[in-house]
């Protein structure tokens, strides 16, 4: 317990820290994709309502060419943010695999280091008898 409380992190926290070290700002990017994409969608729906009002004759002060361009920009932005978000989420699956590999590699290295320390302790306890004699034959 003493060794556990000294420096060990919760595995979930450790995994999230490793994830952040591999792909910094990923959570912020995903948030921005959602926020900006939903803002563009809201703008597109408002513009679409204005176009619908102009087409029904309720509004006569609307330039339809400008409104169509605005619709294309708004829904184009929604599409771009959706594609970027999808790409980032797909990369997140690869990222989770990398994190698991990194955690496993760390565990494997810890086992190897422990084995090497045990071997060094065994070797340090060996008695060595070294004798030097002069060879007069040569």
pLDDT per residue as tens digits for the range 84-137: 999 998 888 888 888 888 888 988 999 999 999 999 998 888 888 888 888 766
User: Using CA atoms, how far apart are residues 19 and 88, in angstroms rounded to an integer?
Assistant: 13
How far apart CA 43 and CA 51 sit, in angstroms, is 12
Mean pLDDT of 10-39: 87
> Tokens at residue 24, please?
């910094």
Q: What is the mean pLDDT of residues 68-89?
A: 95
- Tens-place pLDDT, residues 41-68: 999 999 999 999 999 988 888 899 999 9
Per-residue pLDDT, 4: 53
Confidence of residue 31 (pLDDT cuts 50, 70, 90): very high
pLDDT at 138: 55
How would you write 37-78 as a 3-class SS string? Answer: HHHHHHHHHHHHHHHHHHHHCCCCCCCHHHHHHHHHHHHHHH
DSSP state of 10: P
Instruction: Compute CA 122 distance to the chain's CA centroid, rounded to the nearest angstrom.
Output: 43
């Amino acid at each position: 317990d003493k060794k556990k409380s000294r420096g060990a992190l919760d595995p979930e926290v450790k995994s999230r820290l490793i994830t952040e070290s591999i792909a910094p700002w990923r959570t912020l990017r995903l948030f921005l994709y959602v926020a900006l994409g939903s803002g563009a969608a809201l703008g597109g729906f408002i513009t679409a309502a204005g176009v619908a009002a102009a087409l029904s004759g309720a509004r006569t002060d609307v330039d339809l060419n400008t409104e169509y361009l605005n619709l294309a920009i708004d829904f184009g932005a929604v599409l771009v943010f959706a594609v970027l978000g999808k790409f980032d989420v797909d990369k997140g699956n690869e990222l989770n695999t990398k994190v698991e590999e990194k955690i496993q590699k760390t565990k494997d290295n810890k086992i190897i280091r422990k084995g090497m320390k045990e071997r060094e302790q065994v070797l340090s306890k060996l008695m060595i008898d070294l004798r030097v004699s002069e060879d007069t034959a040569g």
